[in-house]
Amino acid sequence: MASVWSVPQRQGMTDLFAPILALHIATGLAVTVVGLGPMLTVKGSRLHRLSGRLFVILMTVLLIAAWAMTAMHFTAYLLGLSATATYHVFSGVRVLGRKRPDLRARDRARPIDWMAAIGVIGVGLVVLALIVTGRSDGPPAVSGGLAFAALTFGSWDMWRFARPGDWPFSPNLWTYEHLTKMLSAYSAVLSAFSGNFLTVLPAPWSQLWPSLLFPSLAAIWIAVLIGRRRGSTAFA
């Protein structure tokens, strides 16, 4: 199994890799706990905002360490995981400033948003190429899932950037996007944690189950929110 926390064999690199690995593990464990805060608190409340900010800060530290590890010990899995998790956090935060692109030009995508979407799509294609040519490490299903997520989220955002007012736009779309992307970021961390520590589960399911659970949870959550809003409108 591809292990996100495996140590490279070259001694000179190991000396630098070890403290980065320790920081990555520590922040990863903290994120798995702190990430529950935004999910279990009332949206818009002070506690929700504070826990969300702490989650983003910890994720930023974790991802800086992840990219450093990827540079020192390149694998398709690490590349895909680092890129998708980074994009989930970046896009999940950025969408909070783009709530009404149909009404306000300042709420539309900026060059940095386009570059990030193009970048994550590029990573998805690279990971797919590595899988097809047999140069991917670990179970292809895991790296393939990461490539699919990179291509899906990147393509979705490019469509939203190009046609911000078109289907399936609604005034509440930003809420659903924020929810889905932040849950996906949490799922990426939990996938790495589970793959390394919940070894009682067979590979590749020890890494895949969060990627199956949290998109389903996001879909159910969004369906409930839409149902409540339609119900409140009907009785208004």
Torsion of Cα atoms, 224 then 113 then 159 then 119, to 10°: -110
Whole-prediction pTM: 0.89
Q: Could you give the C-alpha distances from 16 to 6, 21, 62, 232, in angstroms and in order?
A: 13, 9, 16, 56
What are the domain boundaries of the chain?
A: 74-234
pLDDT for the residue 5: 47
Tens-place pLDDT, residues 187-226:
999 998 888 777 777 877 888 899 889 889 999 999 998 8
Answer yes or no: are the C-beta atoms of 36 and 65 closer than 8 Å. no
Q: Which position has the token pair 């190429």?
A: 129
What does the alpha-carbon distance between residue 82 and residue 189 come to, in Å, rounded to a whole number? Answer: 10
Alpha helix positions (H), 73-204: 76-94, 111-132, 140-162, 173-197
Please state, for a pLDDT cut of 90, what percent of the chain lies above it: 69
152: pLDDT strictly greater than 50: yes
Cβ-based neighbours of 142, under 8 Å, separated by 6 or more: 2, 77, 195, 204, 207, 208
- Packed helices 173-197 and 76-94: angle between N→C axes, nearest 10 degrees: 150
pLDDT at 7: 46
User: CA-CA-CA-CA torsion for 169, 171, 172, 173, nearest 10 degrees?
Assistant: 20
DSSP-derived secondary structure for 168-235: T--TTHHHHHHHHHHHHHHHHHHHHHHHHH-TTSPTTHHHHHHHHHHHHHHHHHHHHHHHHHHHHHHT
From the list 63, 215, 190, 212, the residue with the least C-alpha distance to 141 is 212
Please write the tens of the pLDDT for every residue from 9-56: 455 556 788 899 999 999 999 999 999 999 999 988 999 999 999 999
* DSSP tally for the chain: helices H, then strands E: 8, 0
* Predicted local distance difference test score (pLDDT) of residue 193: 87
What pLDDT, on the 0 to 100 scale, is given for residue 31?
A: 96
Nearest CA-CA partner of 79 in 116, 130, 28 = 130
